[in-house]
C-alpha cells in the first residue's frame, strides 16, 4: 500500500509539472547543454522531435521569440545514469531562471545510445499537448494598458464627454475591474477573453492569480504568482482558492466582492 501511494504521488507530481509546461507554446533548446555528457546520442534532436509532436514550437538562442524572455521555457538535459542504468533528467526553467519542472526517465537497454534515447522518451511521457495560456507578465501588461486607457479617457476635455462614454461602454464588458477582498488583500478582478480572468494586486507587478476555465462549470485552473498551480471556483458570488499548508493539508482562501 505504501509503495502504491508513493507511485501515485510521483505520477500526480508529474502530471502537475506537465500541466505547467503545457501552459507555454515555445521551448528553447540551447546549442549545447550545460551537462557535457548530454551533448551526445542526438538527444537534442530527439527532444526537439518529441516536443514538436506535442504541439510545442521549438526555438533556439538566435530565434526572434527568444527575445521575449517570459514567453518560453528553456529545456536542459542531464545524463544522470550509471553503469547499470541509462538515466536522463530534463529540467524546464522560466524567464526568471526558476526551475518549473524536473522530469526523470530511465532505461535498462544494454545499448547506451538506444538506452539514453529511450530514457528521454520515458521522461517526456507525462507532458500533455501544448495548451498555452497568457503568462503573468503578459496579463499584467494587458491589465495596465486597460487601466491607462480608462485614465486617458477620463482626462479628455469636457466637450468630448459623449465620445468618452461611448468608448467606455464598448470597453467595459471584457475589462471592467471588480474589487474582491479577503480581509487583508484587496484585488481587482479583470475579465479576459475565453472565460479567463485574473485577480490583480494594484500594488504588485504581477497578478495574484490567473484563472483558466476547466471542463466543470464555475471551476478554474489557477496559476498563482509564485508559479504554483491549484484549483479555484465560484461559490455564492465569492471566489474560492484552494491552497496547500506546509503539512500537506488543504485550506481555502475566500475573496468577497466589495
Domain range list for the chain: 2-123, 136-257
pTM of the full structure: 0.49
Long-range contacts of the stretch 179-187 (C-beta < 8 A, 24+):
179/257, 179/258, 180/239, 180/255, 180/256, 180/257, 180/258, 181/255, 181/256, 181/258, 182/253, 182/254, 182/255, 182/256, 185/255, 186/258, 187/255
C-alpha cell at 118: 529511450
- pLDDT tens for the chain, 258 residues long, are 444 333 333 333 344 444 478 888 899 999 999 999 999 999 999 999 999 998 999 998 888 876 766 788 999 999 999 888 999 999 999 888 889 889 999 998 889 999 999 999 999 988 888 888 655 455 555 555 555 655 666 665 654 444 434 444 433 434 456 899 998 999 999 888 888 999 988 877 678 999 999 889 999 999 888 878 899 999 999 999 999 888 888 899 999 998
DSSP letter, residue 67: G
CATH architecture, range 2-123? 3-Layer(aba) Sandwich (3.40)
Amino acid at each position: 500500500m505504501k509503495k502504491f501511494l508513493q507511485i501515485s504521488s510521483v505520477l500526480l507530481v508529474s502530471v502537475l509539472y506537465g500541466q505547467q509546461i503545457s501552459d507555454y507554446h515555445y521551448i528553447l533548446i540551447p546549442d549545447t547543454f550545460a551537462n557535457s555528457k548530454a551533448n551526445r546520442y542526438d538527444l537534442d534532436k530527439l527532444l526537439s522531435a518529441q516536443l514538436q509532436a506535442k504541439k510545442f514550437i521549438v526555438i533556439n538562442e538566435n530565434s526572434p521569440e527568444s527575445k521575449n524572455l517570459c514567453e518560453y521555457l528553456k529545456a536542459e538535459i542531464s545524463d544522470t545514469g550509471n553503469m547499470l542504468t541509462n538515466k536522463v533528467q530534463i529540467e524546464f526553467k522560466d524567464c526568471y531562471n526558476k526551475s518549473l519542472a524536473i522530469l526523470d526517465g530511465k532505461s535498462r537497454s544494454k545499448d547506451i545510445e538506444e538506452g539514453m534515447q529511450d530514457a528521454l522518451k520515458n521522461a517526456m511521457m507525462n507532458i500533455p499537448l501544448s495548451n498555452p495560456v497568457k503568462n503573468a507578465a503578459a496579463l499584467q501588461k494587458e491589465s495596465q494598458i486597460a487601466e491607462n486607457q480608462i485614465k486617458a479617457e477620463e482626462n479628455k476635455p469636457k466637450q468630448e464627454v459623449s465620445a468618452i462614454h461611448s468608448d467606455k461602454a464598448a470597453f467595459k464588458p471584457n475589462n471592467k475591474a471588480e474589487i474582491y477582498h479577503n480581509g487583508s488583500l484587496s484585488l481587482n478582478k479583470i475579465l479576459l477573453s475565453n472565460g479567463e480572468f485574473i485577480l490583480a494586486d494594484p500594488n504588485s507587478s504581477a497578478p495574484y492569480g490567473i484563472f483558466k476555465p476547466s471542463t466543470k462549470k464555475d471551476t478554474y485552473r489557477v496559476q498563482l504568482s509564485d508559479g504554483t498551480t491549484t484549483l479555484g471556483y465560484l461559490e455564492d458570488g465569492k471566489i474560492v482558492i484552494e491552497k496547500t499548508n506546509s503539512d500537506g493539508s488543504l485550506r481555502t482562501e475566500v475573496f468577497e466582492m466589495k
